[in-house]
Structure 1
Amino acid sequence: MTRISAPELGELLDSDASIVVLDVRWSLAAPDGRAAYEAGHIPDAVYVDLEADLSDHTITGCRMLGNRSQRPTIFNPVSL
Structure 2
Amino acid sequence: MKNVKVLGTGCANCRSTVDLIETVAKAKGVPIALEKIEDLPEIIGYGVMSTPGVVIDGQVVHAGGVPTRSKVESWF
Calculate the TM-score normalised by the size of structure 2.
0.33
Q: Which protein has the bigger strand share?
A: 2
TM-score (norm 1): 0.32
